[in-house]
Amino acid sequence: MILDILTLVTLAATLAVLPRLVLARDAADRILAMQLAGTGTVAILLLLGAAEAAPALFDIALVFAALAAVAGIAFVALGRRNA
């Protein structure tokens, strides 16, 4: 029960970042919004995995965490190359 409520709160916090992702003026704001969305996605998957006792969701969360880290590094490297 409590894990379901935490999952909904985390989902709301993750969705709250979408306007910043779309309406941001510079690339740094978009990068931070993307990182926050990735972190929220990982948190949601971990909470759902614990609530439903589904270990496959833990594996998917690990993949999303790795992708978010690589995407953040790629955006920073791309920004430094273009600056």
How many separate domains does the chain show?
1
CATH number of the domain enclosing 12: 1.10.287
Q: What's the burial of 25, exposed, middle or buried (CB within 10 Å: 0-12/13-18/19+)? A: exposed
* pLDDT at residue 80, as a whole number: 75
Across all residues in the chain, what is the average pLDDT?
A: 89
Per residue in 9-40, pLDDT (tens digit) is: 999 999 999 999 889 888 788 888 888 999 99
- What distance lies between CA 26 and its chain's CA centroid? 19
Domain coverage including residue 13? 2-82
